[in-house]
Amino acid sequence: MIENLLSWLAPHRCVGCRAEGSPLCSVCFDNLSEQPWNRCILCYLPCGSGALCRDCQAKGPLDMAWAAGGYGGELKRLVKSLKFERARQAALSLAELLDWLLPELPTTTAVVFVPTANSRRRQRGYDQSELIARALAGRRGWPCRQMLERSDGSRQMGSGRRQRLARAKTLFKTAGPAPSGAPILLVDDVATTGASLGAAAKVLKAAGASQVMAAVCAVSGAGRVKM
Ligand SMILES: [Zn+2]
Ligand SMILES: [Zn+2]
């Protein structure tokens, strides 16, 4: 509790230039947002623009996707400080980046976060994807809905790609029917194989969602192999 309180009160340093103030200063924000990301979050192949290639768009349940960048440098430090150092202010900076990146979307868009494993959530006392999703929803005036639940206690981190892909299929269940006619924007902090996002989108489509988009803060290429 006290630790949580301190994480809000302690002065933040920019993850890029170490300037005191916020976790990402305006200069480093501009630098980061000027580097467009154009690799597919699912297959990791280069795509024209955005973060979903035409093949994956045609084959899978995701209709559109955006990513702020690769999992490295300032983005990695921001995500890490949010996950491991309890710097919740980092969630606001990440949401600001996504807000800058996303085009205008329908006002009925419902933001749905990809839930973190329950054990991790208990450990940290919060769900980092939920913090980013709620901050983004607040900026855009969209509702944020808790529509996904983990169907088991398994963690995605630190296991092999094949295991992740196999487990992802049964990773989520929906907490209820999807809002009818409203597009859904899935929000996650890091896309490691894209398997979780794909599985989450599939479950949401099965629950009646007409359109499922995804916005992720960083895409990790580690361990990715060509399919
Ligand atoms: Zn800076
Ligand atoms: Zn692709």
CA of 45 to the centre of ligand 2 (A): 6
So what's the pLDDT on residue 52?
Answer: 96
The ligand whose atoms approach the alpha carbon of 29 most closely is 1
Query: What is the distance between the alpha carbons of residues 128 and 120, in angstroms, rounded to a whole number?
Result: 10
The ligand whose atoms approach the alpha carbon of 58 most closely is 2
**Structure-token pair, residue 203:** 């479950």
- Each residue of 150-179: pLDDT tens digit? 886 555 555 566 666 666 667 899 888 888
Nearest partner of 102 among 139, 74, 62, 150, judged by Cα: 139
SS3 content of the chain, % helix, strand, coil (to 5): 40, 15, 45
**β partners of residue 145:** 112
So what's the pLDDT on residue 120?
Answer: 84
Can you tell me the mean pLDDT for 183-196?
93
- Each residue of 70-97: pLDDT tens digit? 999 999 999 998 877 667 889 999 999 9
Position 17: which residue type? Answer: C
Q: CA torsion 214→104→76→203, rounded to 10°?
A: -10
So what's the pLDDT on residue 152?
Answer: 65
How many Cβ atoms are within 10 Å of 118's Cβ, its own excluded?
A: 15
**Structure-token pair, residue 71:** 């999992």
The ligand whose atoms approach the alpha carbon of 17 most closely is 1
CA of 13 to the centre of ligand 1 (A): 8
CA of 186 to the centre of ligand 2 (A): 17
- Each residue of 17-71: pLDDT tens digit? 999 988 999 999 999 998 889 899 999 999 887 899 999 999 999 999 999 999 9
Domain architecture of the chain: domains with CATH: 37-219 (3.40.50)
CA of 104 to the centre of ligand 1 (A): 27
The ligand whose atoms approach the alpha carbon of 18 most closely is 1
Long-range contacts for 132-137 (Cβ within 8 Å, ≥24 apart)?
Answer: 132/82, 132/91, 132/94, 132/95, 132/98, 132/187, 132/189, 132/217, 133/95, 133/187, 135/91, 135/92, 135/94, 135/95, 135/96, 136/95, 136/98, 136/99, 136/111, 136/187, 136/215, 137/111
CA of 141 to the centre of ligand 2 (A): 30
Q: Quick check: 8 pLDDT over 80? A: no
CA of 23 to the centre of ligand 1 (A): 8
